[in-house]
Structures are given as C-alpha cells and as structure tokens.
C-alpha cells in the first residue's frame, strides 16, 4: 500500500495557512584496547569537528525476515522542491503514546531522522514482542535521508534501528554510550559491519544536507543524553530529547543551561519538549536520593539483596555497585540485557567499581547470604525475566528463600500492574520481603516535572511549540502549560503520529493524518507479518476459544460420509460437555444438508453459512462466541 501523497509546502504569500488545531483533544483523551567502538572513536586530541554527511550508501539486500516494501507508483513531492525554503516535521512515533519515538525533519532534498525506537505491546497484542514505527513515508524518500541522530540509548529511542535501517539506510550519529548500546544490538542482527556509526560530543556541529545539528547536554536516567539544536532554513529548532534537571547527577555533568541560554539569544523558532511528566508537579528528585535509600536497605538487610531494575538504568546500576562496595557485598548479574549493558558501561567507564565487587552468578551461592547482591531484570514482571523466574522457582541458579530482600527499583509502566503484582505475590509466597517505590523512594524519574518544563519554556522563548513524547492527554496539558508561559496559542501544535508541522516563511501550520504511521509488529523472527486480522483472530481465540468442525464428504455426490468430527480448544472441555458436542454434531449435519441442497458442492459458501449458523447455535447454548473453523474433506 502506498502512503497517501503529501502536498509540497506552500510558497510564502500564497493562500493563507489553515487555522491551527485548538488546544483540546480532537478525540477523547486517554490516560496515561580492542574496542568494539573503534570504528567511531574520535581521533586523539580532537575536541570539535564538522563533517559533511553525503548521500546515503546504496541500499543493501534486506535480511530474510524483512520484506521490501513495493516501490510506489509515484513519489510524493518533498517539501521545498519547488524552490521554497520551508521545513516539515513528520511525526512517526512517540506522540499520543509512550515509546516508539521517531520523527523526520525535511527541507529541500534533505531529510534527517531523530531517534528510531520501539514500543512495547499492549495486552491486546497477543504474542507480539515489539512494536515498530511505520516508515513507508521514509522508504519513499530514502535517497534523501542524510543521517539518523540519536538522543540517548534507551530502547524506545534506538532499538528500532536494527529492524528499520535496512529499509532506510543512512549514517547514524550518537554519543559514545548510545552507539555502544546500539552496536551490541546491530551485532545481534548481523548488521554491525554495515551500519556506519559516527560519534559526536555536546558542542559538535554536524552538517547533514541543509541541516546543521548541534548536540546539547541534558540529564536523563542514562548517561550521554542529548538534545539537539538544529539550524534549518527556517531558523533554529531545539529538540530536548528525554530530559530533566539534575544538578548532582550520578554520571556526567549537569544539563547545559548556559548553552541553551546562548541558543535562546540566537532566537529559537520552535521548541519540541518531552511531555512524559507534565502531570507531575514541581521538580524531579535528584538521583542522589536513591543512593541514601539503597544504603539504608543494604545496612538493614541480614540476607541476600535482590534488586530488579531496567537494564538501561546505568546510573542506578552505578549506585547499586557503590552500595555493594560500601557494605562489602558481591554482585551477581542475572539477565542477558543487564549483563550486556553493564559490561559495556564498565568497559567505557560509565560504571566504576572495584574488580572484586562483581562475581559470576553461577558462583554466587558459595558466598554467605549477607555478602550477596543479585542484580536482575524483571522490574515489570516480564514473563521470562530473571526475577519472574526466581519468583516462580524456575531460575537455574537462584532460589528465593526467607531472609531475602527484593527491591523493585523502577516505576511500573502502565499496563504492567498485574504482572508486577503477580511477581510480588510469588516472592512473598517464597518468604522474601519486597520493597517497592511506593514504600521507599528507590526510583526517580528521568523526565522533567512541571516546573522544569516551565523553566525550559521560559529559557528558550520559542515562537512555535510542539509537545512530544507522551500520551495525547500529556501533549494537551503540555500545550496548555506553554500557553500559560506566553507562547501564542495559534503557534502551539498538538500533533500525533501521522501528523506533520510545516514552517514556511515564518508561518507554521499543522497538517493532520497525512502520513502513514500505524504499527509494524514484531513476532519472533517475523516483522510486519502480524496485522490487525491476525490480532483479531488471536483475541477471539483468547476470549472464547476455538471450535473446529470437520465434515468428510463423497467427492462425487457431496453427501456426508461420517458423523462430523469436532475439536474444541479453550471453549468447552469436550468430556464435560458431551451433550453440547452431540447436539452440535446433529446441528452441523442438518445445516450441511440444507445448505448443500441450495448450493451443491459450493464448499466456500457452505463453510461460510455453517460458520454463521453454528455460531448462533453455540451462542444460544453457552452465551459465548468461539472462533468456528469448518473444514470439508472430500474422499
């Protein structure tokens, strides 16, 4: 399917721009040495550089699991190709949702991409592992893509690249830790030698087509987080990335407000700012608070301390290492992603720890309990995570026992509450004591609260404002906050995935629903082969089960040869519902005879009618609607 054509940007002085979207939802808002990095290491002594990003490399063959999108009949025109100098901001993920962050900025014959993340499946997406942005819009323009720019190394900002880069190849820019995490993912997909990774530091200036991109240091829950000051034909654009203010960060330096103030003096045409914590009053608490509480937990624990955290929470991992060293405990790590990220962070100095602190998880049981810390994945109750397996008694090396203290050092992502509660209950059944963030402050957000968002608006003084990163209700509230800080309401655009904002000649407008921005689902090794129809089938089977009817007929006469066979899965237990099964067989024989008389040996029509009639019969008997699968076999 070709994406809908998007019009070229209007020339200044042409017809007036449409009225911007008002600051209310257009639909009901919803809640909530041999370095592997050697290829992009900076030459010794270089502190600043400018590089020209040329045309992207020729497209390589796609991995077997990714099918190429058919070429469109006609390529929609890029903005500015008629001689205008406008800029278009295309939102492909992260607006109106949490995660899956991705956007494109285009002008003339040049496009840059900011982030390329994944989302995580909702409860309705049965069997789905990951959710990717739909990049058909960019596939049609791949020859104009100059570079990717990554704000930081979290999954929802970088993990889509191994799946999508083969479709839309271009050099990838990022800070050291971001590229290190990305390279590990690329190696898993066999792409590490194909993707060109380019290192930047805050203050560097990178030319990518008509765009000049400057990384600006911000604070987040992971080191090396950056926003971007992007100089365009329509002025200076500032994208904050995920950010907060932390004057005493665990790793690195504080947010560079001096540089942001200098950029403000240049005049910021548009600000795009993280909306995740717009509903949180005040300021986000510093990470240093966590260190004090971890020390208290370690001091009071008489047995093992087991801590579950996000694998990318490098600052939190550093704090756990610090507390372990202080209280003479050894750390064992359980969980592939935690092991990988910790190894990378230790290698490049983002985690500092004495060598004796870290030990092999397979040897941890040889130590006294009061000398043990286990760092595990599973803070969200993920089914196959290390902590969930411990709670269920299925972990290969660790068995929960009385005296264990389990710490969930993460906030619960909306939708994961039941999984987390189930894990906690199982831990208590095994005799552990569980500490959650609601009881002791053992997790702080990596996102700015209301007062920090106000400060960013006051400091940057943007002409235009687009709230990004968050549920639609968050975007609306952030827009209202911007208006209260003096941004003209007609210059505030509340966009969602599939919308784009254009600025031409100093005039801005929001264009809604013009870009394909649906979900691409990853299920096992399949990418994009699970769509809405497959999901509906899975949901139907999960809700009411399946009822299969197999009818064997004579291929000459079309008459039934034997009594229909019935298979029930997830609907009724056949031995306990023999009467229903018997009556269903009788009904099927009568239905088949009736429809075969009317449509002789028209098997597709007969199967459709049997499916409908049998569905009504079963609903009358059970008030349930299983998925009915009629099968006709000719002999």
Task: Give the residue numbers annotated as catalytic, written as ranges.
Answer: 274, 447
286 in Cβ contact with 247 (< 8 Å)? yes
Q: Tell me which H or E stretch contains 453.
A: helix 450-460
Contact 587, 522 (CB under 8 A): no
For the chain, the helix, strand and coil percentages under 3-state DSSP, each to the nearest 5: 30, 20, 50
Strand order, beta sheet including 627-634: 565-569, 546-553, 627-634
Cα 139 vs. chain centroid, distance in angstroms? 20
Compute, in degrees rounded to 10, the torsion defined by CA atoms 133, 136, 139, 144.
-90
User: Phi-psi bin for 393: left (phi > 0), alpha (psi -120 to 50), beta?
Assistant: left
Burial label, 608 (beta-carbon count in 10 A; 0-12, 13-18, 19+): middle
What's the burial of 216, exposed, middle or buried (CB within 10 Å: 0-12/13-18/19+)?
buried
Question: Which of 137-162 are b and which e, b meaning 16 or more Cβ less than 10 Å from the residue's Cβ?
Answer: bbbbbeebbbbbbbbbbbbbbbbbbb
- Separation CA 311–CA 308 (nearest Å): 9
Q: What are phi and psi of 507, to 5 degrees?
A: -105, 135
Per-residue HEC secondary structure of 200-245 comes to CCCCCCEEECCEEEEEEECECCCCCCEEEEEEECCEEEEECCCCEC
**Beta carbons within 10 angstroms of residue 331's beta carbon:** 23
Phi, psi (5° rounding) for residue 290? -65, -40
Cα 350 from Cα 544, distance rounded (Å) = 50
Report the candidate in 568, 563, 526, 519 with the shortest Cα–Cα distance to residue 548. 568
270: β partners: 237, 464
* Element of type H or E holding 136: helix 136-139
What is the rounded distance in angstroms from the CA atom of residue 482 to the CA atom of residue 475?
A: 10
Give the span between the Cα atoms of 159 and 174, in whole angstroms: 13
Return the axis-axis angle of helices 336-347 and 176-188, rounded to nearest 10°: 140
Angle (nearest 5°) at CA 508 between 506 and 513: 155
């Amino acid at each position: 399917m070709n994406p809908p054509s998007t019009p070229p940007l209007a020339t200044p002085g042409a017809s007036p721009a449409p009225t911007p979207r008002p600051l209310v939802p257009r639909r009901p808002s919803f809640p909530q040495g041999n370095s592997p990095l050697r290829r992009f290491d900076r030459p010794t002594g270089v502190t600043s550089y400018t590089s020209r990003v040329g045309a992207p490399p020729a497209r390589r063959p796609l991995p077997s699991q990714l099918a190429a999108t058919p070429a469109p009949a006609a390529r929609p025109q890029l903005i500015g190709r008629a001689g205008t100098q406008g800029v278009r901001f295309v939102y492909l993920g992260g607006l109106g949702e949490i995660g899956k962050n991705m956007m494109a900025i285009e002008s003339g014959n040049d496009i840059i991409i900011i982030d390329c993340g994944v989302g995580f499946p909702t409860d309705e997406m049965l069997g789905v592992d990951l959710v990717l942005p739909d990049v058909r819009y960019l596939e049609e323009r791949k020859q104009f893509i100059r570079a990717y720019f990554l704000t930081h190394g979290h999954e929802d900002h970088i993990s889509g690249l191994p799946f999508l880069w083969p479709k839309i190849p271009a050099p990838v820019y990022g800070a050291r830790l971001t590229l290190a995490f990305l390279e590990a993912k690329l190696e898993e997909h066999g792409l590490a030698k194909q993707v060109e990774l380019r290192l930047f530091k805050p203050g560097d200036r990178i030319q990518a087509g008509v765009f000049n991109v400057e990384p600006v240091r911000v604070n987040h829950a992971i080191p090396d987080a950056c926003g971007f000051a992007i100089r365009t034909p329509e002025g200076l654009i500032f994208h904050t990335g995920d950010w907060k203010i932390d004057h005493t960060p665990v790793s690195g330096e504080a947010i560079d407000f001096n540089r942001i103030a200098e950029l403000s003096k240049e005049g910021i045409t548009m600000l795009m700012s993280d909306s995740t914590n717009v509903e949180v009053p005040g300021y986000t608490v510093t990470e240093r608070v966590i260190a004090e509480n971890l020390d208290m937990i370690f001091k009071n624990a008489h047995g093992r301390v087991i801590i579950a955290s996000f694998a990318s929470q490098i600052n939190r991992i550093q704090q756990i290492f610090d507390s372990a060293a202080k209280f003479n405990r050894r750390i064992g790590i359980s969980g592939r992603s935690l092991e990988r990220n910790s190894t990378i962070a230790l290698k490049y100095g983002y985690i500092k720890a004495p060598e004796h602190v870290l030990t092999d998880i397979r040897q941890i049981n040889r130590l006294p309990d009061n000398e043990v810390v286990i760092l595990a994945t599973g803070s969200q109750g993920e089914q196959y995570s290390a902590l969930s397996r411990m709670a269920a008694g299925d972990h290969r090396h660790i068995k929960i026992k009385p005296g264990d203290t389990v710490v969930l050092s993460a906030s619960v992502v909306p939708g994961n509450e039941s999984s987390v509660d189930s894990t906690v209950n199982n831990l208590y059944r095994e005799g552990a004591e569980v500490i959650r963030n609601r009881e002791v402050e053992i997790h702080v957000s990596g996102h700015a609260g209301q007062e920090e968002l106000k400060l960013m608006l006051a400091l940057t003084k943007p002409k235009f404002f687009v709230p990004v990163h968050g549920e639609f209700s968050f975007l609306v509230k952030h827009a209202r906050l911007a208006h209260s800080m003096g941004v003209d309401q007609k210059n505030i655009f509340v966009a969602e995935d599939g919308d784009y904002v254009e600025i031409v000649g100093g005039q801005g407008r929001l264009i809604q629903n013009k870009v394909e921005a649906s979900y691409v689902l990853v299920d096992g090794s399949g990418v994009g082969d699970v769509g809405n129809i497959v999901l509906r089938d899975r949901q139907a089977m999960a809700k009411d089960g399946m009822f299969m009817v197999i009818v064997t007929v004579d291929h000459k006469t079309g008459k039934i040869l034997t009594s229909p066979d019935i298979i029930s899965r997830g609907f009724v237990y056949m031995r306990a519902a023999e009467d229903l099964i018997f009556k269903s067989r009788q009904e099927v024989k009568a239905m088949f005879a009736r429809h075969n008389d009317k449509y002789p040996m028209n098997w597709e029509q007969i199967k459709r009618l049997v499916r409908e009639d049998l569905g009504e019969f079963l609903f009358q008997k059970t008030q349930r609607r299983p998925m009915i699968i009629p099968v006709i076999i000719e002999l």
